[in-house]
Amino acid sequence: MIRYALLFVAVLFAVPSFAATVSLSGTVTDLSGNLLSGAGVSLVKAGNVTSTSTSGSWRIPATVTGIAIQPKLSVSSAARHLVLEGSHLQLRFDGVDVAGRTSSGVRVIGNAPSTAVGTSVAARSAVAYVDTLLYSWNGRVRARVGIASLSAGAEGVQKIDTSTSSTDIPWNASITYGSLTDARDGQVYRTVKIGTQTWMAQNLNYVVDSSWCYANSADSCVKYGRLYQWASAMDTSTTYDTSLLNAARPHQGICPTGWHVPSDAEWTKLTDTILSSSTAVTVLRSTEGWLGNPTDTGTDVYGFHVLPSGSGHYNGAFSDYPSIAYFWSSSEFSASIAWNRDITIGDASVDRYYGIKSDGFSTRCLEN
C-alpha cells in the first residue's frame, strides 16, 4: 500500500498575463564605435520596429501582452494539488500539472474523497514573454540580442558589423538619395526623385493588422518591408477588401504624414517618366537578389531599388519570392480588386494588373 505524508506546502500560483508598457532604448555603433544613423532595430515577437537617429540612439515604447509577473507564493494544503495517475504521483497547479496537462479523470490523494477532478477547473497559465532585439543595416540583419524579460530600461550600446558581404543588395552609388523619418516609429527610409515625383526607395515597413513579413520572418521585413492587404495599406476598415472605398486622392493610407499611397495614374506617370516601357522593368529592378539568372536582375538606373518581395495571403500562404514584386495603388478596379503593378523576372515591362484586395502586396509611398 502506497502511503503519502500530507503536509502544508508552499505553492507557486501562476498569475494571468497582462498588458504592460515597456520602454527599451539604446545606442548602435559600428565595430569601430562610430554612431550609426538609420540602423534598424526591431523587437521581433512584439512586432515593434524603429531606426536609430543621427546620434545612433533608438527607443521602443510599446504596449505588449503576454508578460508574466512574478508568481505569488502562498501556503496551501498538498492534498489539493497531489493526484494519483496509476502508480505515479503528480502535482497540479490550478488544474494543470507540471507537464502542462489539464486535469481530467484523475483521483485526488489525501483527505478528499477519491473522485474525478472536474474539468471545469480553470487552467491558468502565465508564460514569461521572452523576445529578441534584431539589429539591421543596409537591408541585412547584422545582430540578434536575446533579452530575458521586457523590464523597462536601456539595453546599452550594441555594436554591429557594417561591412558588406555577398548577401547585401547594393544601392546605386551615383544617386543622391533623400531621407524620410517616419515619426510614428522612428524608421528611416531612403527616398529618390524621379522626374517630378519623389518616391520612397524602399518598401514600407510600418506595422499594422493584416500585414505580414514574408514567410513570417522578421528578417524578410528588414529586407523587403511588409506585405499589406489593400484595406490595411489604405488604413481603413477590412470591409473595404470586399467593397468599394472610392477614396479621394491623394489618399495617405498608412504612409507617413506628407506622403500617400500612389494612385494608378501616378504609377503610370512613373513608368512614362522612364521613357520606354520595354526597359522599365530593367531600370527599376535592383542589380542583385532576383531568382538565379543574372539576366533577370536589373540596372537600378533610377535608384528605385525594386526587390523580389513576393506576396502573402490572409490564410498564411506566401508565394512568388524571389521572382516577383507587387505594389498596391490606391485605385480600385471593383469591390474586391484594386490596381497594382507587378515587376516579374522574364518580363520586359512593368505590368499594370488588378490584384485581389485580400492578398498581401508591398507598398511604396509617394510624396504629396
pLDDT tens digits for 59-99? 987 766 554 433 433 444 555 566 666 666 666 555 554 44
In tens, the pLDDT along 152-199 reads 677 889 999 998 887 788 899 999 999 999 999 999 999 999 999 999
Q: What is the pLDDT of residue 280?
A: 76
Fill in the amino acid letter for 5.
A
In degrees to the nearest 10, what's the CA dihedral of 146, 28, 49, 185?
A: 150
Using alpha carbons only, give the angle 354, 192, 178 rounded to the nearest 5 degrees. Answer: 140
| Least confident among 107-111, 233-237, 301-305, 364-368 | 107-111
Dist. CA 8–CA 4, nearest whole Å: 13
Q: Which helix (H) or strand (E) holds 28?
A: strand 18-30
- Grid coordinates given for 137: 543595416
Q: Residues 177, 201: contact at Cβ < 8 Å?
A: yes
The CATH code of the domain at 18-68+128-160 is 2.60.40.10
Q: How many CB atoms lie within 10 A of CB 246?
A: 7
In whole angstroms, what is the distance from residue 361 CA to residue 368 CA? Answer: 22
Cell 493610407 identifies what position? Answer: 253
- Give the list of residues 6+ apart from residue 315 with CB closer than 8 angstroms, or none: none
Handedness of CA 180, 183, 184, 188 (dihedral sign): positive
| Total Cβ atoms within 10 A of residue 80 | 14
Tell me the chain's radius of gyration from C-alpha atoms. 27
347: confidence class by pLDDT, cuts 50, 70, 90: confident
Give 103-116 pLDDT, tens digit per residue. Answer: 444 444 333 333 33
The 3-state DSSP composition of the chain as helix, strand, coil percent (nearest 5) reads 10, 40, 50
| Extents of the domains making up the chain | 18-68+128-160, 178-367
pLDDT-derived band at 275, boundaries 50, 70, 90: confident
Q: 12 Cβ partners below 8 Å, 6+ apart?
A: 71, 72, 73, 93
pTM (global) more than 0.85: no
Predicted pLDDT of residue 290: 87
Show the cell assigned to 219. 528578417
* Distance, CA of 269 to CA of 258 (rounded, Å): 19
Residue 68: its pLDDT value, please? Answer: 41
Residue 52 CB: number of other CB atoms within 10 A?
A: 26
User: Residue 15: what pLDDT?
Assistant: 41
